[in-house]
C-alpha cells in the first residue's frame, strides 16, 4: 500500500535528521575541520530536502532551500570560501528550514514572522550568489494539485494497468529520479513489461546531463486502485506526461494514447503488443480506422471526451477532495497519539496483572497439578512479555536530549570567548520518555554551569599545559539497571577550599565539622549557593545546581560529583531506568519481607560464624573491604534471630556494600507502590509492594543504604584521622 501521507511523515523525520546532519557539519567547519566530503554532505542534505519537499509539494520549503542549495553549490565548486560568517548564516538557514518543516508537519501555513525570517535570510544569501537571480529562482517548481486526466472509471479488477511515463527534463534537478518511481511502482504490483525510451536523448555534445530524456512504457499487474498508482506520481505529474490506462481499457483508449505520445505510433503500437495490452489485429484495425476518418485531430478530441480522459473540472475537484479526506483518515490510523496518562494507566494495570499472575502461579504450584502449573507458567511468561512491551512503549533514546547541546555549546563558547569542544557518546541509550522530558533542564544547567565556571580562559589553559581547546563530554550508559549520565569537563575543577569557606560563611557547616571531598562538593547543590565572583547572564546566581538537584531527586536519581583541582570535574547523574516495575530479589529478616532491585545484587554469600561472632562492621570479601549493613539492627526487627545469616552483596554507582539478612527467598517481579506522604522522609525504603501471597513487602532503597554506610564509614575514618 502506498500512501503519500505516510511517506510524508517519513519525510519530516528525514528532514530533521538531515538538518541535524547539516548542523553537525557546520559546527565541524567552525571547529576548523574542512574537507570536500563535508561540503558535499552539506550540499547533498540541502538537495535532498529540496527534492523531497518538491515531491510533496511543499513550495515554501523548496523556495527557501533552493537558494541555500545554490550557495552550497558554489561552495562545492570552490567559487566561494567558507568562513565563520557563512557558517553562522547557514546555521540560521538550517533553523529556518526546520521551522518551515515544522509548519508543514503541523499542516499550517508559515506565519508572518517565519516568512519575514525567510526573506531576510534569502537577502543575506544573495550576497553569496553571483548575481541577484532574475525573477524567482524556482519559478519552475510550482506546487500543484492538478490531478492527472482520468480515463474512465476505477479499477476493473486485479489485472494489468498500462502506464506511459514521460518525465519532464527538470525532474532530475528537482532531486527526483525516474528510476526510483519505477522501483516504487514495483512495490505496488508486478511490472510485467517495461520498455525504456531514450529517443529524446540528443547528441552527446549538446545534451544536458542533468536533464531527463527518458520515457517509459510499462505494464503493471496490480490490485492497486487508480488513486494509489496516481499517488506515486503525485508531485511530478504537473509537468510530466503520465498516462494511466486501467485494466481492460478500451482499444480506443490505447489508440488515443499512441497518438498522443511523441514517439512514432507504429513503434508504440509494437510495444503495446509486446506488453500484451493489444493484439496486433486490434492495433492494425484501429490505426486503419483512425487514418480513414479524417480529420483525425478532431476525432481524437471527441474520443478523449467520450472515453472520459478529460473529466469535467467539477468531478476532478470532487475526487481530489474525497481523496484528501481518505488520506487523512489513513494517516490517523497509522500512528496513534496517546496521552501519557493513559499509558501510565496501562502500565499500572500491567503491574497489577503481574502481581495477580504471580498469585495464580503460586496457587497452581501448590495444587501440585502439573498441567495447571504449566499453563500458569505460560500465562506468566506472556504477562512478562506484555510488561516489557508496555514499558518499551515509553522508551526513547537519550539522543533526543543530547541533540540540542552541540548548538548550545557552540553559541555559548562564542558568547564566553572560550574554545570548547563537545563530545557526545552513548546517545543511543534508552530511557523512559517521561524522564527524557524532565532531564533537559537539569542537563542544560550542568552544561551551562560547566562552560561558565568549569573552563579557564585559553591562555590560562596553555599555562597549565592543557590544550587551549576545552573539552566537554556528555556520556550516557546503562549501569546496573540505572542510567548514568555524565557531564565531564577538563577545566579547572572545583575549588574545595572556596566552597568550604563560603559554606562556613553562610553557616551551612560548622567550623569543627570534618567533611569528605564528596560532601564538600555536594554543598554546591544547595539552594542559593554560589561561589562565583561575578554573576553572569548564564549562571552564578546560585540557582542552577539547586534546580539540577531537585530535578534529579524528583526522578529518584542521585548526583555524584568527582573533581580534581586543575584537571576537571565530572558530574554523574544516576537515574532509575524504569519507574514502575522492577525485577526484585526477595529476602527475609526476622519474618519481615524486603525486596531488593535485582540488578543491584552482585552475589549472595553466607556470613561465616567467625565474622558474625566479632560483630564486625566490615567483611573481608576476597581481600576487599565490604561494609556491612545489618538490616535487623537498622530496621529494629526484634524477632528471633535465624541460625544462619546471609550477606547480599549489592552495588550502586560503583560502590558496594553487604546487607546482612536472614533468609534468601529468590527472585520476584515487583510493582513499586509509592509510600504514603507520611513515610516520605523514611530513609532506606523506597516503596512497597504486594507479594503474590498477598503480603506486603518493603522495597529497599539500596542507593540510600550504600550512601549511609559509606558516609558513616567516612566519618569514622575521618574521626580516627583526627584523633
Partner 1 sequence: MGLHLEQTSTGSRLIIDGEMTVHCAWQLRDEILALLPQEGELSVELSGVSEIDSAGLQLMLQVKRSHGPALRFINHSPAVLQILDIAHLAAHFGDPMVIPSGERTFGQS
When the beta carbons of 160 and 429 are compared against partner 1, the nearer one is 160
When the beta carbons of 75 and 552 are compared against partner 1, the nearer one is 75
3-class DSSP string for 230-290: HHHCCCCCCCCEEEEECCCCCHHHHHHHHHHCCCCHHHHHHHHHHHCCCCHHHHHHHHHHH
When the beta carbons of 7 and 192 are compared against partner 1, the nearer one is 192
Beta strands in 159-238 (DSSP E): 159-166, 190-197, 215-222
Count of positions on this chain that bind partner 1 (CB under 8 A) = 30
Which residues 6+ apart lie within 8 Å of 281 measured at CB? none
Which residues 6+ apart lie within 8 Å of 559 measured at CB? 522, 525, 548, 549, 552, 571, 572, 573, 574
Least CB distance from residue 188 to partner 1, whole Å? 13
For position 251 contacting partner 1 by CB under 8 A, the verdict is no
When the beta carbons of 205 and 537 are compared against partner 1, the nearer one is 205
Given the rule CB under 8 A, which of 172-180, 224-232, 373-381, 437-445 is the region that contacts partner 1? Answer: 172-180
Is residue 672 a contact partner of residue 597, using CB atoms and an 8 Å limit?
Answer: no
Beta strands in 598-675 (DSSP E): 601-606, 618-621, 624-630, 646-652, 655-661, 663-671
When the beta carbons of 203 and 678 are compared against partner 1, the nearer one is 203
Residue 273: exposed, middle, or buried by beta-carbon count in 10 A (0-12, 13-18, 19+)? middle
Least CB distance from residue 231 to partner 1, whole Å? 20
For position 477 contacting partner 1 by CB under 8 A, the verdict is no
Least CB distance from residue 164 to partner 1, whole Å? 15
Question: Whole-angstrom Cα distance, residue 599 to residue 605?
Answer: 16
Is residue 118 a contact partner of residue 98, using CB atoms and an 8 Å limit?
Answer: no
Is residue 473 a contact partner of residue 423, using CB atoms and an 8 Å limit?
Answer: yes
Phi then psi for 609, rounded to 5 degrees? -60, -35
For position 172 contacting partner 1 by CB under 8 A, the verdict is yes
When the beta carbons of 199 and 606 are compared against partner 1, the nearer one is 199
When the beta carbons of 210 and 512 are compared against partner 1, the nearer one is 210
Identify residues 370-389 at the interface with partner 1 (CB under 8 A). none
The interaxial angle of helices 4-30 and 36-55, nearest 10 deg, is 160
Least CB distance from residue 50 to partner 1, whole Å? 13
The strand order across the sheet containing 420-425 reads 420-425, 470-479, 482-489, 568-576, 558-564
Given the rule CB under 8 A, which of 92-100, 169-177, 385-393, 636-644 is the region that contacts partner 1? Answer: 169-177
When the beta carbons of 205 and 292 are compared against partner 1, the nearer one is 205
Least CB distance from residue 539 to partner 1, whole Å? 46
Question: Whole-angstrom Cα distance, residue 566 to residue 686?
Answer: 38
Identify residues 200-229 at the interface with partner 1 (CB under 8 A). 201, 203-205, 207, 209-210, 212-214, 216
Least CB distance from residue 23 to partner 1, whole Å? 21
When the beta carbons of 220 and 580 are compared against partner 1, the nearer one is 220
Least CB distance from residue 133 to partner 1, whole Å? 20
Question: Whole-angstrom Cα distance, residue 380 to residue 670?
Answer: 13
Least CB distance from residue 201 to partner 1, whole Å? 6
The strand order across the sheet containing 241-245 reads 190-197, 215-222, 159-166, 241-245
Return the DSSP state at 673: B
When the beta carbons of 19 and 182 are compared against partner 1, the nearer one is 182
Query: What's the N-to-C CA distance of the chain in angstroms?
Result: 80
- Adjacent-strand bridge partners of 564: 568
- Adjacent-strand bridge partners of 217: 164, 195
Least CB distance from residue 51 to partner 1, whole Å? 10
> H or E segment at 240?
none
Residue with cell 557558517: 87
Residue with cell 546482612: 660
Neighbours of 297 (CB within 10 A): 9
**Binding-residue pattern over the window 270 to 289 for partner 1, x denoting contact by CB under 8 A:** --------------------
Given the rule CB under 8 A, which of 60-68, 88-96, 173-181, 245-253 is the region that contacts partner 1? Answer: 173-181
Cell of 407: 548548538
Least CB distance from residue 178 to partner 1, whole Å? 5
Identify residues 174-203 at the interface with partner 1 (CB under 8 A). 177-180, 182-183, 186, 191-192, 194-196, 198, 201, 203
When the beta carbons of 200 and 377 are compared against partner 1, the nearer one is 200
Cell of 531: 561561589
**Binding-residue pattern over the window 36 to 75 for partner 1, x denoting contact by CB under 8 A:** ----x--xx--x----------------------------
Residues found near partner 1 in the complex (CB under 8 A): 40, 43-44, 47, 172-173, 177-180, 182-183, 186, 191-192, 194-196, 198, 201, 203-205, 207, 209-210, 212-214, 216
Amino acid at each position: 500500500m502506498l500512501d503519500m501521507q505516510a511517506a510524508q511523515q517519513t519525510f519530516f523525520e528525514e528532514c530533521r535528521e538531515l538538518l541535524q546532519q547539516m548542523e553537525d557539519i557546520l559546527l565541524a567547519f567552525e571547529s576548523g575541520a574542512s574537507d570536500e566530503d563535508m561540503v558535499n554532505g552539506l550540499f547533498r542534505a540541502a538537495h535532498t530536502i529540496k527534492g523531497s519537499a518538491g515531491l510533496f509539494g511543499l513550495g515554501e520549503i523548496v523556495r527557501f532551500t533552493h537558494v541555500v542549495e545554490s550557495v552550497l553549490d558554489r561552495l562545492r565548486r570552490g567559487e566561494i570560501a567558507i568562513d565563520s560568517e557563512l557558517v553562522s548564516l547557514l546555521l540560521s538557514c538550517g533553523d529556518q528550514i526546520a521551522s518551515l518543516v515544522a509548519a508543514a508537519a503541523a499542516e499550517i501555513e508559515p506565519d508572518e514572522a517565519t516568512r519575514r525570517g525567510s526573506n531576510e535570510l534569502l537577502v543575506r544569501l544573495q550576497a553569496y550568489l553571483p548575481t541577484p537571480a532574475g525573477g524567482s529562482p524556482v519559478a519552475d517548481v510550482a506546487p500543484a494539485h492538478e490531478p492527472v486526466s482520468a480515463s474512465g472509471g476505477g479499477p476493473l479488477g486485479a489485472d494489468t494497468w498500462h502506464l506511459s511515463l514521460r518525465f519532464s527534463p527538470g525532474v532530475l534537478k528537482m532531486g527526483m529520479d525516474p528510476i526510483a518511481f519505477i522501483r516504487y511502482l514495483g512495490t505496488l504490483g508486478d511490472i510485467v513489461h517495461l520498455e525504456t525510451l531514450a529517443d529524446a536523448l540528443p547528441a552527446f555534445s549538446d545534451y544536458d546531463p542533468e536533464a531527463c530524456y527518458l520515457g517509459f512504457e510499462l505494464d503493471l499487474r496490480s490490485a492497486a486502485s487508480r488513486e494509489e498508482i496516481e499517488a506515486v506520481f503525485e508531485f511530478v505529474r504537473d509537468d510530466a506526461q503520465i498516462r494511466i490506462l486501467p485494466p481492460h481499457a478500451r482499444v480506443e483508449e490505447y489508440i488515443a494514447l499512441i497518438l498522443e505520445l511523441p514517439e512514432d505510433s507504429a513503434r508504440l503500437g509494437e510495444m503495446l503488443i509486446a506488453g500484451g495490452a493489444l493484439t496486433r489485429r486490434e492495433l492494425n484495425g484501429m490505426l486503419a480506422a483512425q487514418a480513414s476518418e479524417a480529420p483525425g485531430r478532431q476525432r481524437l478530441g471527441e474520443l478523449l471526451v467520450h472515453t472520459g480522459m478529460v473529466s469535467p473540472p467539477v468531478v476532478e475537484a470532487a475526487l481530489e477532495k474525497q481523496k484528501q479526506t481518505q488520506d487523512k483518515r489513513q494517516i490517523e490510523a497509522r500512528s496513534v497519539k496517546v496521552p501519557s496518562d493513559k499509558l501510565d494507566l496501562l502500565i499500572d494495570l500491567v503491574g497489577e496483572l503481574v502481581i495477580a499472575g504471580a498469585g495464580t502461579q503460586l496457587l497452581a504450584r501448590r495444587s501440585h497439578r502439573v498441567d495447571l502449573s504449566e499453563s500458569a507458567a505460560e500465562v506468566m511468561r506472556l504477562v512478562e512479555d506484555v510488561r516489557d512491551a508496555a514499558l518499551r512503549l515509553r522508551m526513547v533514546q537519550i539522543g533526543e536530549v543530547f541533540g540540542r547541546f552541540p548548538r548550545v555549546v557552540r553559541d555559548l563558547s562564542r558568547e564566553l570567548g572560550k574554545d570548547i569542544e563537545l563530545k557526545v557518546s552513548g546517545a543511543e541509550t534508552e530511557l523512559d520518555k517521561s524522564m527524557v522530558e524532565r532531564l533537559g533542564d537539569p542537563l542544560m544547567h550542568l552544561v551551562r554551569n560547566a562552560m561558565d565556571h568549569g573552563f579557564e580562559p585559553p591562555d590560562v589553559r596553555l599555562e597549565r599545559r592543557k590544550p587551549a581547546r576545552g573539552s566537554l563530554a556528555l556520556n550516557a550508559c546503562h549501569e546496573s539497571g540505572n542510567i548514568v549520565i555524565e557531564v565531564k569537563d577538563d577545566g579547572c575543577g572545583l575549588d574545595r577550599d572556596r566552597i568550604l569557606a563560603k559554606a562556613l560563611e553562610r553557616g551551612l557547616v560548622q567550623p569543627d565539622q570534618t567533611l569528605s571531598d564528596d560532601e564538600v562538593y555536594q554543598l554546591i547543590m544547595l539552594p542559593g549557593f554560589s561561589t562565583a565572583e561575578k554573576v553572569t547572564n548564564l549562571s552564578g546566581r546560585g540557582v542552577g545546581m539547586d534546580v539540577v538537584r531537585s530535578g534529579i531527586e524528583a526522578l529518584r536519581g542521585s548526583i555524584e560529583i568527582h573533581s580534581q583541582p586543575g584537571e576537571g570535574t565530572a558530574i554523574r547523574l544516576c537515574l532509575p531506568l524504569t519507574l514502575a516495575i522492577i525485577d526484585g530479589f526477595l529476602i527475609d529478616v526476622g519474618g519481615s519481607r524486603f525486596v531488593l532491585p535485582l540488578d543491584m545484587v552482585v552475589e549472595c554469600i553466607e556470613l561465616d560464624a567467625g565474622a558474625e561472632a566479632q560483630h564486625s562492621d566490615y567483611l573481608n570479601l576476597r581481600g576487599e573491604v565490604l561494609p556491612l549493613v545489618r538490616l535487623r539492627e537498622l530496621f529494629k526487627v526484634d524477632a528471633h534471630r535465624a541460625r544462619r545469616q546471609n550477606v547480599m552483596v549489592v552495588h550502586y554507582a560503583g560502590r558496594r556494600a553487604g546487607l546482612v539478612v536472614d533468609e534468601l527467598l529468590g527472585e520476584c517481579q515487583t510493582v513499586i507502590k509509592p509510600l504514603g506522604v507520611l513515610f516520605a522522609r523514611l530513609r532506606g525504603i523506597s516503596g512497597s509492594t504486594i507479594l503474590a501471597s498477598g503480603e506486603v513487602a518493603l522495597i529497599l532503597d539500596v542507593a540510600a543504604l550504600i550512601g549511609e554506610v559509606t558516609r558513616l564509614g567516612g566519618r569514622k575514618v575521618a574521626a580516627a584521622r583526627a584523633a
